[in-house]
Amino acid sequence: MRTLSFTACVLLQLAALRVLHGAKWTYRGPEGEHHWSKHYPFCGGAFQSPIDIKSELLRFDPALRPIELQNYNLSPNEQLTLGNNGHSLQISLPPKMYISSLRHRYTAAQLHFHWGSSSRPAGSEHTVNSRQYAAEMHVVHYNSDKYPNISMAVDKSDGLAVLGVFIEIGDFNPAYETFLKFINGIKYRDHKVQVPGFNVRALLPNRLDEFYRYDGSLTTPPCYPSVLWTIFRNHVTISQKQFLALATALYSSYAQDSTATPLHGNFRKPQLVDSRVVLVSFKEGRGLHGTLTVSPPFKRKQVVHQLLAGDLADLADEGLYQLLPSGSQTVRAGNRKDTMSQLSVTLAKPKQQTKNPSLRKSQTNRFVGKLGMEENTLCFTSLEHQLRQSHAESELSRILRDLIYPELNLKSYLDCKSDLALPTIRHILSRRPTDEALELDRSLTKALMNPRKTSPATKDRGSRTKHGSVSVQQKPLSRRHPHPWLLPMEWED
């Protein structure tokens, strides 16, 4: 335990230092997105954004309420900071603006844009069935019920809520012109100007009741998996001239640099979905007729209770997969025998599952008792990446994955944010009678290996899941100073 704690602390401190001091990053070239994870481990982990919102990932959730915005119509007497931070055009927003329809109050901090180029006007980060829009606006909010400012919220699992708006080229948009007319004043990196307040609500689609909802991350370093994403279904338009102003007027370099680097194509490519689902607030429309409806929380808890205390033989006969929202994660082809063999050893010797039985017992008791996460839960994503980079023994990585992934996935499952996957079921079964647990596992594996019993969404997610585990609700580490470009510009000085 002492070795585990020391190694984990050292690796996590190294990762924290890299984020604190910051590292140069770009969208292309030597510091492009494929290299972000070298300095920002979360960028190489799970629960990343953006994603391609495919029809087979969608789950209709009738409990989703329309987005309600407060104080979004600002007076011209209020001064806002419009700036070029080298990565995007960004506008700082006053704290009186907030979202009132979520579980917590989320206070506005800033909004910014991602866009394509004059030669390729496709630059949205999220895509819908592989369709990429010309640009995308993100309005960033932080959980002000729990955290005093965005600095403290940015690396917490419930810290941020971002509204995403697709932008397409079409009709002239007077709302966007209120700040685009000042764009020549922020040509170079770190340039800022003051602009009069305007109706920020007018930048969003008319309908705020139709949207996609999923758990993800910041789309730029340090890529903390701390964002509750709301992507509006309907797009807004700006004119060709307005788009060209956005795509050609700015530079990511400083004014004093010898070479001016244009600022365009500032979007991250879609990330792996893993076993996440995308909740939607609407059911009608093309591609949505076959959309499943998420099970209510009480039903999901009932499934977990049956696994914890029910008759496992009966569950095997009934087919547990039929009780789950969309079945579960498939077993990767070619690995079935290895999976069953490993499970047999695991269930036959539960107390020898790790080199530290006390750690397993403590984790399992907390897992069964609270069915949730604790504040100091290690971020497996960051730690596993560091272990791979340092070539540390795989045993430590496996232990952390076995202990942490199932617990975090269960929390996400009960909140209707993911599917209950096989690793989590097996984690629960590790404390149940061996014969019954094996019988149930064989039943699940057989059912999930049958293509006729497996949904297209499940099949796709299973084939893209890393390490045979699910993507989970990560709990990032607490840090006092996130990467400065994420903050409202007034706080960067």
Structure tokens at 152: 């403290």
Tell me, what's the pLDDT at 317?
Answer: 66
Give the pLDDT band of residue 66 (cuts 50, 70, 90).
very high
Alpha-carbon separation of residue 302 from 111, 305, 321, 433 (angstroms): 41, 5, 14, 20
Q: Measured between alpha carbons, how far is 407 from 342 in angstroms, rounded to an integer?
A: 20
Tell me, what's the pLDDT at 210?
Answer: 97
Give every CB contact of residue 472 below 8 A, 6+ residues apart in sequence.
46, 47, 380, 405, 408, 409, 412, 418
Tell me, what's the pLDDT at 56?
Answer: 87
Give the pLDDT band of residue 483 (cuts 50, 70, 90).
very low
DSSP string, 104-156: S-EEEEEEEEEE--SSS----SSEETTB--SEEEEEEEEETTT-SSHHHHTTS
52-53 vs 127-128, strand pairing mode: parallel
**If we measure between CA atoms, which residue out of 118, 72, 92 comes closest to residue 192?**
92
Tell me, what's the pLDDT at 435?
Answer: 80
Helix (H, G, I), strand (E, B) or coil at 39: helix
Decide: 186 and 3 in contact? Cβ < 8 Å: no
Look at 70 and 59; give whichever has higher pLDDT: 70
Structure tokens at 437: 């647990």
Look at 455 and 399; give whichever has higher pLDDT: 399
Tell me, what's the pLDDT at 216?
Answer: 93
Q: Residue 77, Cβ neighbours under 10 Å: how many? A: 7
pLDDT value at 52 more than 60: yes
Active-site residues, by number, are 87
Q: What is the CA radius of gyration of the chain?
A: 23
**If we measure between CA atoms, which residue out of 45, 56, 71, 27 comes closest to residue 469?**
45
Structure tokens at 300: 């999901």
pLDDT value at 20 more than 50: no
pLDDT value at 381 more than 80: no
**Angle CA 43–45–50, to nearest 5:** 60
Tell me, what's the pLDDT at 197?
Answer: 97
Give every CB contact of residue 391 below 8 A, 6+ residues apart in sequence.
none
Which domains are present in the chain?
A: 2-273+478-491 (3.10.200.10), 295-468 (no CATH)
pLDDT, tens only, 224-280: 999 999 999 999 999 999 999 999 999 999 999 999 999 999 999 999 987 788 999
Give the pLDDT band of residue 306 (cuts 50, 70, 90).
confident
Look at 320 and 482; give whichever has higher pLDDT: 320
pLDDT, tens only, 102-146: 999 999 999 999 999 999 999 999 999 999 999 999 999 999 999
Structure tokens at 464: 């893209």
pTM: 0.71
Tell me, what's the pLDDT at 367?
Answer: 35
The residue type found at 45 is: G
Tell me, what's the pLDDT at 383?
Answer: 52
Burial bucket for residue 176 (CB in 10 Å: 0-12, 13-18, 19+): buried
